[in-house]
A and B are shown apart, each in its own frame.
Chain A
């Protein structure tokens, strides 16, 4: 089983600052990593798929990078609406399976 470990668990930053969130896999994932944002009481929203592709309607301040076992979500300049919980996700092709990281809480400093 491929385990995804996100760090840090909590990140405290101010609006306008740059946020860097990490996702480390126990086994190589190629580029099959996605990132989601979840706000309280809402379903997750897809931000990034295949490590670096922004989903439809996602602002350019969100970017993803990485390959193999190390992946990063970067928010270049935090807006007030960006404070939320972020999850990384990987997919295994066979047998088909999905794993989520435990999440990073991005909070206002």
Chain B
């Protein structure tokens, strides 16, 4: 069964740092681009960042550029999101999501994790 499982969320103060992880199973991880998508409480979906299968190409939403870093360890089937300089507006559920096809960096997302909550508050 294809699965994604996020971890690493928590409560922290503005300006803090956090690293999220997403473990993958049931598919050939290094063949697929992956993304992080977030959802603030009661709000819609916001794409955060994407990385291609070999990790060579990444991109970020303007709202997190320069503060967040996406990476992956294909030997561990794990996706990461390093979050620095956190702000209250970064409070959200963070989902990792798998690209639907083996092409490109972004695509439709056919598999999603359950999400991990990040709360930034003083």
Q: State the A residues within 8 Å of B (CB).
A: 34, 36, 38, 43-46, 49-50, 55-56, 87, 89, 91-93, 95-103
Contact = CB atoms under 8 A, between A and B. Distances in A.
Contact of B57 (A38, A55, A96): A96
A96 B44 contact: no
Given A34-B108, A91-B106, A98-B35, A46 B100 contact: yes
Contacts of B110: 46, 49, 55-56
Interface of B: 35, 37, 44-47, 50, 57, 59, 61, 95, 100, 104-110, 112-115
Contacts of B50: 96-98
Contacts of A103: 44-45
21 contacts: A36-B109, A43-B95, A43-B112, A44-B37, A44-B45, A44-B109, A49-B100, A49-B107, A49-B110, A87-B44, A89-B45, A89-B108, A89-B109, A95-B59, A96-B57, A96-B105, A97-B106, A100-B44, A100-B47, A101-B44, A103-B45
A95 B112 CA distance: 23
A98 B106 contact: yes
Contacts of A98: 35, 37, 47, 50, 106
